[in-house]
Structure 1
Amino acid sequence: MRDRKALYIDRQTAKYARGHIDRRSFMTSIIAAGVTIPAAMGLATRVEAQTPQSGGTLKYGMAAGSTTDSLDPATYENDFSVMTGFSYGNALTEVGPDGILRAELAESFEPRESGAVWAFKLRPGVEFHNGKSLTPEDVIASINYHRGENSTSAAKGILNPVVDITKEGEDTVVFTLDGPNADFPYVVSDYHLLILPSENGEIDPTAGIGTGGYIIENYEPGVRLISSKNPNYFKEGAAHFDGIELLSIIDVTARQNALMSGEVNAAERLDPKTVALVARNPAIEILEKTGYLHYTFPMRLDTPPFDNFDLRMALKLAINRDELVEKVLLGHGAVGNDHPISPAVPFHAEGLNQRTYDPDEARSYYEKSGHSGPIQLSTSDAAFAGAVDAAQLIQASAAAAGIEIEVVREPADGYWSNVWNKKGWCACYWSGRPTQDWMYTSAYTDDTEWNDTAWRNTEAADRFNELVVAARSELDEAKRAEMYFETQQLIHEDGGAIVPMFANYIMGLGEGLAHGEEVAANWANDGNKATERWWFES
């Protein structure tokens, strides 16, 4: 047990951090408790550094953004859009900086009927930017927008288990699912599922009106977002800036130069090749987090020749993953195994054999496929920093197996609307998800719009889709682990996803920009909530 002196100092420190006492009172109290003056001054300085200050305008250099972007949450597909969404809106739940799920617009949530029903009690006193109070009807309309029969929302797949949504009393929303789902509270933290104001059961998805910490002043798709602080934000100790400006700076060199020159206060997705040089600037903090981020090269099964199993296997074996991690990530990441589940995600398949570079076996599969001629691989550094270099390394390693790859350098602008999910084979990145079910229903099940490998209608894909549904409702963890092992194995063997590496998030923070002790790793930029979690030191 801690002694009374230590407990007293802790209490005084907490009071100072919360602004309940001033610096002089804090110093006087802990010196009286026996702390030396130098130690007291050092403690006060540390508390001040961790105490959020209000004011200033945050300018953030983003690695994404397209002229085809929209404020419609159903369309969000990159960090610029997600950061925009989380700045003006909120979901029912959120993943905190510590990686633990917590209530957001919901005050609390509870399972019923062994997790086949979930009830979310709404937080009282929450207002939208237009002054409307949050109601269960807003939640129902916002979620149903993604569930409609004709919906093309990227969140439609993860909501397929929802059978019905009803209002209970004046402050509770009840979700009825098609079976038990222990992970469902994670699902409603998805960045597509922002709660927007409704009228007569409908929402305006492009109005940009939410409950978030910032009110949109100007939005230029693919260019910038300018917002001002919401004076009525329901979260205490959040959204510290007077205003924010998100800038789309897709070129990594330009983005890093903007950080170095002070044009922006922070920048995401720094280039591993040059981050050491950036770190030499004493005014810049390099913030690196290991999470779910993975770089992929999806092959679409609805586009020949990738409908050929032997050709897909040949390409998987023709890639030198260790070389990619070494030369593209420069060690800022780890080797992938052609499935999207990070070791940080529950039920990761530890015993699955690691695929390695084998040009001889790749040649054998390639000859068996019957294919001849060049295979096009579309790429751009818009996909991820070093994507062009990665494609060229793949080209070289495949050549040793007798496979000719033609690297097609695509324009950065419009890459996500014109290339990804359209071209047969391209470079891509996924931020990952906290649970396997969420990752699968975002990008791998046969009913999601974002199934960028078009992995459907093979025997393995059918089995995979059955397992996803079964594992969702399986409460026995041992059985669930077996199911999830098989799902990863099926993607690894039959799927169109080449997942050669998991990459660290690498962010740069300029002078005076501060953050909490814990920074979220579920997505980049502190879970893409840096706008409400960070602050400028005074």
Structure 2
Amino acid sequence: MITMNQGAVKNAMVEVDAKGQAVPELAETLEPSADAKTWVAKLRQGVEFHSGKTLDADDVIASIAWHSREGSTSAANAVAKSMGNIRKDGPNTVIFELESGNADFPYLLSDYHILIGPADSSGNIDWDAGDGTGAYSIKSFEPGVGTHLIRNPNYWKEGRGHFDECRLIAINDAAARMNAMATGQVDAIARTDLKTVGMLKKKPGVEILQVAGTKHFTYPMDVRQEKFGDNNVRMALKLGINRQTFVDTVLRGYGSLGNDHPISVSQNYCATEIPQRQYDPDKARWHLLQSGYGGLDVEIHASDAAFSGAVDATALYAESAKAAGINIKVTRASADGYWSNTWMKVPWSASYWSGRPTADWMFTIGYKAGGNWSETFWDNARFEELLVMGRAELDEAKRRDIYVEMQTILHNEGGTVIPCFANNVDARSDKLAHGDLAGNFELDGCRSCERWWFA
């Protein structure tokens, strides 16, 4: 869905480039006030939706308001609400009046959820119509199966949108996905199966793409549950996983160790001063004793829909935890409907995050209390206080201190086991060409349809 929408069918106000920088997209310019509380966006003029409607400020305001409306279940609800009061100053200017300063504000406007659609005279948007300003329009769309896109001859962005047609096919089974690439049924795939990527690499005409980024695998616990509500239990589970074995075996070395917070070493403000948590079954057992457990029986649900090899990876986790007196029952969940029927519906499950370009954004969408994607249902008063402080702080040194403390809180008290950061490992035919690859999402920031071309 991200690859279908982002750049292909729709555009955002801001795009994240291959260097991880926020650059204007539908916004031609984006200028802050001195305190970063007010931002003025000038829209590109002459941009048209596939329907022929010209982009204007009303479209931008309505698109963002849809995510922050009363009763919204959007994953971007918290981000959209943080944008404060949004108003227009003529048809081509949008003014954002934030409740507090946010030096990272342009990155929020690059959120793949907050894409711009056409508003009608009542300020409503028919999202099901699939109308956008992107390089391609939708010829057909079958949820869970695939999408057929055709080139938009009036695309406003020069040097983008080179293919006449793009077909996006949902292949959830990793083996089937790898076979489709190996046999030439498809030109590119995301999330290669690392167990067999070495074999795929030997296939003539196939190129393996590896980009370090912010993607990380997680095991979120619902801290509202009695066992997971006890931080000693959470600490035991964090200490009961052998992270190095996880990286070596599950990722085949295509990644780095996680430290139970979501900020990658490739990002600003990563708290590298926090000691790397090591596999320590004796210490894990000690934490269980503090909770009154001589041993621990827990169940975790996993599916390869969470990340490639998730079921085997979770079994590896369960094996390492045995030395701490922890018995983890691994239940294989169906890949179909995993994100709607299992994730955040069961007490403990496998998950993954593609990450976000900034610390504030990642903390807001994934860990802020009450957020629709706050997968552990964790609520920490000090963390919430620091979140607001860090967003408004313009002094870089002070801001870093705030984010280090937030990562430390998550490391010591959070409800998520984060064993590793995974490189984006995709595959493409050598018939395709591209520029520098972005690492914020798979397949060149999920913009391969828009950015790539035939060699």
Q: TM-score, normalised by structure 1?
A: 0.83
Percent of aligned pairs with the same amino acid: 48
Secondary structure of residue in 2 paired with 1:525 = helix
Quote the residue 1:431 is aligned against. Answer: 354
Please give the residue correspondences for 1:115-134 in structure 2 after superposition, counting only pairs within 5 Å: 115-134=36-55
Aligned equivalents of 1:442, 1:224: Cα separation in 2: 28
Q: Does residue 1:176 correspond to 2:94, yes or no? A: no
Secondary structure of residue in 2 paired with 1:429 = strand
The match for 1:382 among 305, 309, 313 is: 305
The match for 1:254 among 164, 167, 176 is: 176
Q: Does residue 1:148 correspond to 2:69, yes or no? A: yes
- C-alpha displacement of 1:136: 0.3
- C-alpha displacement of 1:113: 4.0
Q: C-alpha root-mean-square deviation of aligned residues, in Å?
A: 1.0
Please give the residue correspondences for 1:26-175 in structure 2 after superposition, counting only pairs within 5 Å: 81-86=1-6, 87-175=8-96
Secondary structure of residue in 1 paired with 2:405 = helix
Please give the residue correspondences for 1:17-28 in structure 2 after superposition, counting only pairs within 5 Å: none
Query: What is the CA deviation profile of residues 97-156 of structure 1, one whole-angstrom value per residue up to 9, with x for unaligned ones?
Result: 232211000111100142100011000110011100001000011111111121111101
Quote the residue 1:351 is aligned against. Answer: 273
Equivalenced residue count is 452
Q: Does residue 1:338 correspond to 2:257, yes or no? A: no
Check the 8 A contact 1:154/1:449 in 2, yes or no. Answer: yes
Quote the residue 1:218 is aligned against. Answer: 140
- C-alpha displacement of 1:238: 0.5
Aligned equivalents of 2:413, 2:69: Cα separation in 1: 31
Check the 8 A contact 2:256/2:422 in 1, yes or no. Answer: yes
Please give the residue correspondences for 1:361-510 in structure 2 after superposition, counting only pairs within 5 Å: 361-371=283-293, 374-456=297-379, 461-510=380-429
Secondary structure of residue in 1 paired with 2:129 = coil
- C-alpha displacement of 1:428: 0.7
Secondary structure of residue in 1 paired with 2:35 = helix
- C-alpha displacement of 1:370: 2.6
- C-alpha displacement of 1:160: 2.7
Paired amino acid for 1:306: F
Q: Structure 2: state its 5+ residue gaps.
A: none
Check the 8 A contact 1:304/1:424 in 2, yes or no. Answer: no
Aligned equivalents of 2:195, 2:287: Cα separation in 1: 34
Paired amino acid for 1:504: N
Aligned equivalents of 1:283, 1:241: Cα separation in 2: 19
Query: What is the CA deviation profile of residues 438-474 of structure 1, one whole-angstrom value per residue up to 9, with x for unaligned ones?
Result: 1011110013100001112xxxx11101101110000
Check the 8 A contact 1:378/1:425 in 2, yes or no. Answer: yes
Quote the residue 1:514 is aligned against. Answer: 433
Secondary structure of residue in 2 paired with 1:324 = helix
Query: What is the CA deviation profile of residues 142-187 of structure 1, one whole-angstrom value per residue up to 9, with x for unaligned ones?
Result: 1111111211111011123222101112311000001111000100
Q: Does residue 1:528 correspond to 2:446, yes or no? A: yes
Aligned equivalents of 2:306, 2:69: Cα separation in 1: 30
Q: Does residue 1:275 correspond to 2:197, yes or no? A: yes
Quote the residue 1:203 is aligned against. Answer: 125
Secondary structure of residue in 1 paired with 2:128 = coil
Query: What is the CA deviation profile of residues 378-397 of structure 1, one whole-angstrom value per residue up to 9, with x for unaligned ones?
Result: 11111111211111111111
Aligned equivalents of 2:200, 2:289: Cα separation in 1: 46
Check the 8 A contact 1:298/1:496 in 2, yes or no. Answer: yes
Aligned equivalents of 1:113, 1:99: Cα separation in 2: 24
Aligned equivalents of 1:370, 1:88: Cα separation in 2: 54
Aligned equivalents of 2:261, 2:383: Cα separation in 1: 13
Check the 8 A contact 2:250/2:309 in 1, yes or no. Answer: yes
Q: TM-score, normalised by structure 2?
A: 0.98
Quote the residue 1:285 is aligned against. Answer: 207
The match for 2:229 among 296, 303, 307 is: 307
- C-alpha displacement of 1:215: 0.4
Paired amino acid for 2:248: E
Check the 8 A contact 1:299/1:496 in 2, yes or no. Answer: yes
Aligned equivalents of 2:430, 2:316: Cα separation in 1: 37
Query: What is the CA deviation profile of residues 299-338 of structure 1, one whole-angstrom value per residue up to 9, with x for unaligned ones?
Result: 1112232111111111011111011001101111000000
Aligned equivalents of 1:386, 1:313: Cα separation in 2: 24
Query: What is the CA deviation profile of residues 267-291 of structure 1, one whole-angstrom value per residue up to 9, with x for unaligned ones?
Result: 1111222111111112001111000
Aligned equivalents of 1:228, 1:391: Cα separation in 2: 40
Aligned equivalents of 1:344, 1:159: Cα separation in 2: 26
Aligned equivalents of 1:520, 1:420: Cα separation in 2: 27
Aligned equivalents of 1:148, 1:267: Cα separation in 2: 36
Paired amino acid for 1:530: S
Paired amino acid for 2:362: M
Secondary structure of residue in 2 paired with 1:423 = coil
Paired amino acid for 1:152: T
Q: Structure 1: state its 5+ residue gaps.
A: 1-80
Paired amino acid for 2:170: S
Query: What is the CA deviation profile of residues 477-504 of structure 1, one whole-angstrom value per residue up to 9, with x for unaligned ones?
Result: 1111110000000111111111000011
- C-alpha displacement of 1:230: 0.7
Q: Does residue 1:245 correspond to 2:167, yes or no? A: yes
